Structure 1
Amino acid sequence: MEKNAKIYVAGHRGMVGSAIYRKLAGEGYTNILTRNSSELDLRDQQQVATFFATEKPDYVFLAAAKVGGIVANNTYRADFLYENLCIQNNVIHHSYLNGVKKLMFLGSSCIYPKLAPQPLKEDYLLTGTLEETNEPYAIAKIAGIKMADAYRDQYGCNFISVMPTNLYGYNDNYHPQNSHVLPALIRKFHEAKVNGAEEVVVWGSGTPMREFLFADDLADACYYLMQNYNEPGLVNIGTGKDLTIKDLALLIKDVVGFEGGLTFDTSKPDGTPRKLMDVSKLRSFGWSYKTELREGLKLAYDDFLEKHT
C-alpha cells in the first residue's frame, strides 16, 4: 500500500478497527478515511453507494460488524444475521463498483463447525454443523468470505479474508450482558474487588478451551497480510495457544488483584468445547504474534480502568 493511498477503515471506533487505525497511523499513513455510524450507516445501501462514489478509497479494511458474546448472539439472532449481511454486502459490492485495489474482510473463528477437529484449519470451513448460539453471526461471516471469493472469481477483485481468534485489548466492550468472556471477566473481577465481594461467579464449567490474541497484534497481522497475501480462501490469525476458561479466570483474578474465591455456574452454557486456530498458514507467510496473554491483560485492564471507572 502506497503511503499516500486513501485507506478506508470501516468500524474504526471498535476494538479491531481502532487497532488497525493505530497501526496504519504508526506506519506513516496519513490519508485514512473514517466515518462513525451516525455519519455513515453501513446497513444503508444508498449511503454506502454515495460514500464510495464520492471518496473512492484505494484500500478497504472491513472491520465493521454487529458483535457480541453468547447472550447477545443468541438473543438478537435476526439482527446479527440481517445487519452483518447488509454491512458486508454493501461495502464489498461498492468496493468492486468503485475500483478498490484491495479489500480485507474480517470474520471470526465461530465460522468453523462446532465439533471440528482441533486445531482449526482453514479448510474445515463448511464441513459440519455450526455452534447453535452464534449460528446467525457465523452464517453472515461465511457469506462474507464466499462473497469476497466470488468477486475475485467473477470480476478479478483482490479481496481477501482473515479469521481472527478471540480478541481483547484497547477499546474492548465491557457491557454487562453483551460482552465476550475476557472483558466480562475483567469487569466482574474489578467490581468484586471494589465492592469487597467474597467470590466471583463465572459462567459455565470453566473447562472450555479458548485462544486469545491482543487486538494490536491482530492489526499488525492485518497490515502484514495486506502487503503480502493475495489469494482466495481465508487466513486464520491467532497465537496457536489456548487455555481453559478456569485458567483465564485465575489469570485475570491475579492481574486485577481480587483476593476472593471463584465458583462456576454450571447451569450456564459453555459454548464450543474448544476453538484453537491452526496458524501454520499465517506463519508460513512470515508472521507470528508478539504479546503474551498476561502482558496483554495488564494493558487491557489499565485501559478499562482509564475508560470505565
Structure 2
Amino acid sequence: MEKDSKIYVAGHRGLVGSAIVRKLKEKGFTNIIGKTHSELDLRDSVAVEEFFKTERPEYVFLAAAKVGGILANSTYPADFIYENLQIQNNVIGMAKKYEVKKLMFLGSSCIYPKLCPQPIKEEYLLSGYLEETNEAYALAKIAGLKMCEFFNKQYGTNFISVMPTNLYGPHDNFHPKNSHVMPALIRRFHEAKVNNAPEVVVWGSGAPLREFLYSEDMADACIYLMENYEGNDFINIGTGKEISIKGLAELIKEIVGYEGKIVWDTTKPDGTPRKLLDVSRLGKAGWTYKTELKDGIKKAYKWYLENYIDS
C-alpha cells in the first residue's frame, strides 16, 4: 500500500475498524474511507455496488460485522447468520467486480470446533462440531473465509483472511446485555463500585480459559499482514497466552478498584472450555503482540470512563 492509496475500512467505528483507522493514520496513510451505517448499509447490495463504483477503493479491510456475546448469539441466531452473510457477500463480491487490489477479511476464533486440540492451529478448521451458542455467527465467518479462498482460486483475486482471538480496547461494546466478556465485566465491576454493591454475579463457573488481544495490537498486525503477506492460508492473530475467566474477573476487579465479592452463577453456560490460538504462523510471518493484558485492561477501563460512562 502506498501512503496515498485509497483504503476502505468497513466498520471503521467499531472496535477493530476504528483501531485500524488510527493505526493507518499513525503510519502516515492519508486516503482512508469510512462510511457509517446510516451512510452505507452494507446489507444493501445496490448501495454497496454504488459505493464501490463511485469510490473505487484500492484496498479493503472488511471489519464490519454484527457481533455480540453468548446471550446475543443465543437469542438472535437468524440475525447473526443472515446479516453477516449479506455484509460479506456484498463487500467481497464488489471488491472482485471493481478490481480491488487487495482485501482483508476479518474472521473470529469462534469458527473453530468447540472441542479443538489446544493451542488451535489454522488447519483444525472444520474438523469438528461448533460451539452451539455462536454457531450461526461462526458459520457466516467460515463462509466469508472460504469465499475469499475460492475467489482467489477462480478469479485470481488477492483476498486474505485473518482470525483474531478475543479482542478488547477503545470503542468496544459495553452494552449491559449484548457485549463480550471483557467489556461486560469492566462495566459490571465499575457500576458495582459506584453503587457500593456487595457482590457481582458472573455467568458460569469461571473455569474456561480465554486469550485476549488489545485492539491496537490487532490493528498493527492487520496492517503488517496487508503489506507483507498474501496467499490462501488464513492466519491466526493472538498472543499465545491465556487466562481463566475467574482470573480475568479478579484482574478487572483489582483494576477497577471494586471491593465486594464475586459470585459465580453456575446455572449459566460457560461456552467453549478453552480457546487458545496457535500463533506460530503469525510469528513466522514476522509479527508479535506488544501489549500485556493488565496494561491493556487499564487502557480499556480508562477509555470506558472517558467515553462510555453515561451510556
Where does residue 93 of structure 2 map in the other structure? 93
1:135-214 equivalent positions in 2, closer than 5 A: 135-214=135-214
Where does residue 223 of structure 1 map in the other structure? 223
| CA distance in structure 1 between the partners assigned to 2:197 and 2:50 by the alignment | 53
Where does residue 281 of structure 1 map in the other structure? 281
Partner deviation per Cα, 1:153-180 (whole Å, 9 max, x = no partner): 0010000000000000000101011000
Where does residue 253 of structure 2 map in the other structure? 253
Where does residue 241 of structure 1 map in the other structure? 241
**Match for 1:133: what amino acid?**
T
Partner deviation per Cα, 1:70-116 (whole Å, 9 max, x = no partner): 00011110000000000000000000000100000000000000001
What SS class does the counterpart of residue 161 from structure 1 fall into?
A: strand
**Match for 2:305: what amino acid?**
L
1:40-189 equivalent positions in 2, closer than 5 A: 40-189=40-189
Residue 308 of structure 1, CA deviation: 1.8
| CA distance in structure 2 between the partners assigned to 1:239 and 1:174 by the alignment | 23
Residue 262 of structure 1, CA deviation: 1.0
Residue 233 of structure 1, CA deviation: 2.6
| CA distance in structure 2 between the partners assigned to 1:107 and 1:234 by the alignment | 10
Paired residues, what number?
A: 309
Task: Say whether the 8 Å CA contact 1:145–1:233 is kept in structure 2.
Answer: no
Task: Say whether the 8 Å CA contact 1:66–1:84 is kept in structure 2.
Answer: yes
| CA distance in structure 2 between the partners assigned to 1:239 and 1:147 by the alignment | 27
What SS class does the counterpart of residue 162 from structure 2 fall into?
A: strand
Residue 199 of structure 1, CA deviation: 1.1
| CA distance in structure 1 between the partners assigned to 2:265 and 2:91 by the alignment | 41
| CA distance in structure 1 between the partners assigned to 2:262 and 2:146 by the alignment | 43
Residue 260 of structure 1, CA deviation: 0.9
**Match for 2:47: what amino acid?**
Q
Where does residue 308 of structure 2 map in the other structure? 308
**Match for 1:37: what amino acid?**
H
Taking only the aligned residue pairs, the percentage that are identical comes to 68
Partner deviation per Cα, 1:167-206 (whole Å, 9 max, x = no partner): 0000010101100001000001000000001111111000
What SS class does the counterpart of residue 216 from structure 2 fall into?
A: helix
Would you say 1:290 and 2:290 are equivalent positions?
yes
Which segments of 5 or more consecutive residues in structure 1 lack a partner in the other structure? none
Where does residue 19 of structure 1 map in the other structure? 19
Would you say 1:33 and 2:33 are equivalent positions?
yes
Q: Please give the TM-score of this superposition, normalised by the length of structure 2.
A: 0.99
Residue 27 of structure 1, CA deviation: 0.7
Runs of 4+ in 1 over 4 A off after TM superposition: none
What SS class does the counterpart of residue 201 from structure 1 fall into?
A: strand
What SS class does the counterpart of residue 200 from structure 2 fall into?
A: strand
Partner deviation per Cα, 1:193-223 (whole Å, 9 max, x = no partner): 0000111111100000000000000000000
Partner deviation per Cα, 1:13-63 (whole Å, 9 max, x = no partner): 001000000000111111001100000000000000000011000000000
Task: Say whether the 8 Å CA contact 1:13–1:36 is kept in structure 2.
Answer: yes
| CA distance in structure 2 between the partners assigned to 1:291 and 1:193 by the alignment | 26
What SS class does the counterpart of residue 72 from structure 2 fall into?
A: helix
| CA distance in structure 2 between the partners assigned to 1:131 and 1:233 by the alignment | 23
